[in-house]
Amino acid sequence: MVHQHETNSADAELLPIDLRSDTVTKPTEAMYARMASAPIGDDGLDGDPTVRELEAVAAAAMGKDAGLFVPSCTMANLLAALAQSQRSEQIVLESTAHMYTSERGAATFTGQFYLAVAGTAGAMDLNLLQDALQGDGLKLRTALVAMETSHNNASGAVLSLEHMQAVHAMASARGVPVHLDGARLFNAAIALEVAPAQIAKHCDTVSLCLSKGLSAPAGAVLAGPHAVIDRSRRFRRMLGGTQRQIGILAAAGLEAIQVMGARLAEDHRRARTLSDALNEMHPKVSATIPQTNIVQVDLSLSGRDSAAWSGALESAGLRTRPWGRHRLRCVTHRHIDDADIERAVMAFRSVAAGLA
Ligand SMILES: Cc1ncc(COP(=O)(O)O)c(C=O)c1O
């Protein structure tokens, strides 16, 4: 069976280039094939063999004891918090981390407080982290520290292993576990040229999203020590995150983990090509220099806001995402090839031509 997304015909030329997110990636043909033939069971009853396999493969890839398949990375992060901290305790994280900017609404029902500390390129200020860990006996106890790599809001920046090691050592010295939001862990691993486990060894639990650059249609895995994963499994049921014959989806996840990581270097190269071209294009437009697959384009000098730019680019056949008032976010992924990058730059050029 040939799926619509795989067509590379003249028709595809008419489609807009979609740089809004790497979550738009469709399953590969190999994923569909594995989904069609996956042995399945009931993951809420006595288990699903393909889910079990995915959990074991993911845990091994991240160097952890056990894994838990969940519907989304948001749920993986939430379970890490629930399983490792109590009500009225705090979770410390960098102030632009996804868990803070987009997920901390969870506090309204977990009763956990999120303490954001300032950072640079997604890396927490270690002095501020030290203060938060120290406490004074009067403030909330810090029960969990969270990091993120690659860092979504920091334009795909990758934390250095030295930074991660320092955070882990500081937290461990106080008996505080560290969670890693590794939604794009494989991108970070490719950028650092190390195995994912070499990064994940600097944390106790780690979440990995299967549905971004790795192209699975949905799903994430939380990995960590047996006791934490067992607790998370119980919380997952409470949240309604236990799915039945979900081996069908786990099969795509297996393909994502075992096969799709290697090609991410291509996305990183194309993001860099895009960034270089935009930085040369117009003095009033500047782009971040990506370590991975995310480029933010700063338009604050252009006299137009990000909504106006994204509307104009859309008319020129390029989909981007406003990221605040003065920035656009462009993310490369499997459906973007070299010619698409050229067309994307042409679209930017045509809009920039209208600038004063
Ligand atoms: C760094 C990071 N963490 C977590 C998430 C949440 O992932 P999901 O959409 O699977 O819940 C995202 C989604 O964009 C993300 O970028």
Nearest CA to ligand 1 atom 7: 73
pLDDT at 98 over 80: yes
Kindly tell me the burial class for residue 121, based on how many C-beta atoms sit within 10 Å of its own C-beta (0-12, 13-18, 19 or more): middle
Sorted by sequence, the CB contacts under 8 Å of residue 52 that are 6+ apart come out as none
Taking CA atoms, 251 is separated from 167, 262, 265, in Å, by: 35, 18, 23
- Establish whether residue 220 lines the binding site of ligand 1, counting it when its CB lies within 6 angstroms of any ligand atom: yes
Ligand 1 centroid to Cα of residue 137, in Å, is: 34
- Establish whether residue 267 lines the binding site of ligand 1, counting it when its CB lies within 6 angstroms of any ligand atom: no
Angle 68-36-9 from CA coordinates, rounded to 5°: 110
| Tokens 């699903």 belong to residue | 48
pLDDT at 13 over 90: no
Ligand 1 centroid to Cα of residue 351, in Å, is: 30
- pTM for the model stands at 0.95
| 135-173 pLDDT tens trace | 777 788 999 999 999 999 999 999 999 999 999 999 999
- Establish whether residue 209 lines the binding site of ligand 1, counting it when its CB lies within 6 angstroms of any ligand atom: yes
Nearest CA to ligand 1 atom 16: 152
Percent of the chain whose pLDDT exceeds 70: 96
Taking CA atoms, 7 is separated from 15, 69, 173, 255, in Å, by: 11, 31, 54, 21
Report pLDDT for 166: 98
- Establish whether residue 181 lines the binding site of ligand 1, counting it when its CB lies within 6 angstroms of any ligand atom: yes
Query: What domains are defined for the chain?
Result: 9-24+263-353 (3.90.1150.10), 29-258 (3.40.640.10)
Closest ligand 1 atom, residue 21 Cα? 14
Ligand 1 centroid to Cα of residue 65, in Å, is: 23
- Establish whether residue 302 lines the binding site of ligand 1, counting it when its CB lies within 6 angstroms of any ligand atom: no
Percent of the chain whose pLDDT exceeds 90: 92
pLDDT at 22 over 70: yes
| Tokens 């994940």 belong to residue | 200
To test the pocket of ligand 1, the residue of 69, 94, 152, 321 to mutate (highest count of ligand atoms within 8 Å of its CB) is 152
Count the residues in the chain: 356
What's the whole-number mean pLDDT along residues 95-103? 98
pLDDT confidence bin for 7, thresholds 50/70/90: very low
pLDDT at 84 over 50: yes
Report pLDDT for 12: 46
Strands (E) located in the chain: 17-18, 66-70, 89-94, 113-117, 119-120, 123-124, 141-148, 178-182, 205-209, 220-224, 286-287, 294-298, 318-319, 321-322, 327-331
pLDDT at 293 over 60: yes
pLDDT at 8 over 80: no
What's the whole-number mean pLDDT along residues 187-216? 98
Asked whether the beta carbons of 171 and 201 are under 8 A apart, the reply is no
pLDDT at 5 over 70: no
DSSP string covering 150-205, please?
SBTTTTTB---HHHHHHHHHHHHHTT--EEEEETTHHHHHHHHTS-HHHHHTTSSE
